[in-house]
Amino acid sequence: MLAMNHQKSEQLYERAKEYLPGGVNSPVRAYLAVGRTPVFIERAAGPYLYDVDGNSYLDYVGSWGPCILGHAHPEVTEAVRRASENGLTYGAPTQKEIEIAELIRACMPSMEMSRLVSSGTEAVMSAVRVARGFTGRDKIIKFRGCYHGHADGLLVKAGSGALTQSVPDSLGVPAGCTQDTLIAEYNDETSVQRLFEANRGQIAALIVEPVAANMGVVPPGDGFLPFLREITRQNGALLIFDEVITGFRLGLGGAQQYYGVVPDLSTLGKIVGGGMPMGAYGGRREIMQLVAPVGGVYQAGTLSGNPIATAAGITTLRLLKEQPQIYDKIAEHTRVIADTVKDAFGDQVQVNRVGSLMSVFFTGERVRDYVTAATSDTSKYARYFGYLLEHGIYTAPSQFEAMFVSAAHKAEDIERTCDVIRTISHFSY
């Protein structure tokens, strides 16, 4: 295949840089980590993206996870259309808010009560506030390389876009905002234990991506999540699972069902909104009853529970409940791609996979935490990304992101993807 024409995308990028910082509205979209100009998307359908230059791509980003059913699923888009005909926002209660809360609890019983918000960042920020209100403590533990949104107190040793740009902390975050954020090492029980011992009676919560997916996909080691459950319980701290990515992705019950570990609070995003901007946080009733207006932990949002977003989310969750075989299908398709990458590159790569989440690391070391993830050769990943892109395969423009397979990918799409990957072995890496 000849190199694709990206002339219109390049023109739009130059125009965008005049009005938007870096020409984008989220850092990883700028393609800086892979040394390219971003492609500008015009439309999407099923497993495909179509850019402004007329190129088509098999999409393995899926808007960073929410498009588990594929793009523009007819039942989801019809639900959005019907909802939008009745108005875009009310700032008042609707029945759909109750329906999606019921669905969330049916899928994740630990979320006895939940509060809808507009993003994963907002969900995490609010969950941490509730944990502090419930325990009367200030300090929290997070893990190096895990990303929990861009709230000031959590933008410390972050993953994803911050990791890609080698800026683990952000300018503009006062030291006072992060003084109560303690950093542990993912998959390192000793680092967690030491923090609890050094801060007895002061830690409100420990927050973790149960499967780290913002330093690339890094699964929890054997016994790691049960250890976190036990040590938080022993120390009177709350365990918060950030399931913005894993929620409804590893299964209807998310990572907590997948691994059999029940947190006190959970945060959701991505799939819960069916592709629309929505998040949620929730957990035990006694904790969530502290949220205003019934309790003293304040949190509010004009667009929270938006009727368009709830319509998309309800339809997506219902379809997933009705078709549980989707999870086996997308996990198997992901396994086939992962095995093909291993065969093509041999010991040049490490491929981490959990269900339908996977990442390719160009390193000889087993990737189990931030330090080992950072050993990956990002220049090799950039060449890998560029080759796939020019051959019609759209993957994350960052070494430290996940690959997402959707239910819309057919067996022939997976085989075409594998064929392209196999040809890469002819090139020097």
| Rounded-to-integer distance, Cα 156 and Cα 174, Å | 11
| Rounded-to-integer distance, Cα 207 and Cα 328, Å | 28
CA atoms within 13 A on the CB side of 386: 17
Q: Whose CA is closest to 164, among 29, 25, 352?
A: 29
Helix and strand element counts for the chain (H, E): 15, 14
- 10 Å Cβ neighbour count for 93? 9
C-alpha 325 chain-centroid distance:
22
270 catalytic? Reply is yes
SS3 label, residue 61: coil
Cis peptide bond N-terminal to 293, omega within 30? yes
SS3 label, residue 37: coil
Catalytic residue of the set 242, 264, 369, 413: 242
Q: From start to end of 191-248, where are the E strands?
A: 203-208, 238-242
157 catalytic? Reply is no
147 catalytic? Reply is yes
Residues 6+ positions from 25 with CB-CB distance below 8 Å: none
279: β partners: 117
Dump the DSSP string for 325-387: HHHHHHHHHHHHHHHHHHHHHGGG-EEEEETTEEEEE-SSS---SHHHHTTS-HHHHHHHHHH
Catalytic residue of the set 147, 258, 281, 381: 147
| Rounded-to-integer distance, Cα 111 and Cα 400, Å | 29
Catalytic residue of the set 96, 139, 142, 270: 270
281: β partners: 115, 267
The identity of residue 87, as a single letter, is G
Tokens found for residue 268: 């959701």
Q: Which active-site residues does the annotation give?
A: 147, 242, 270
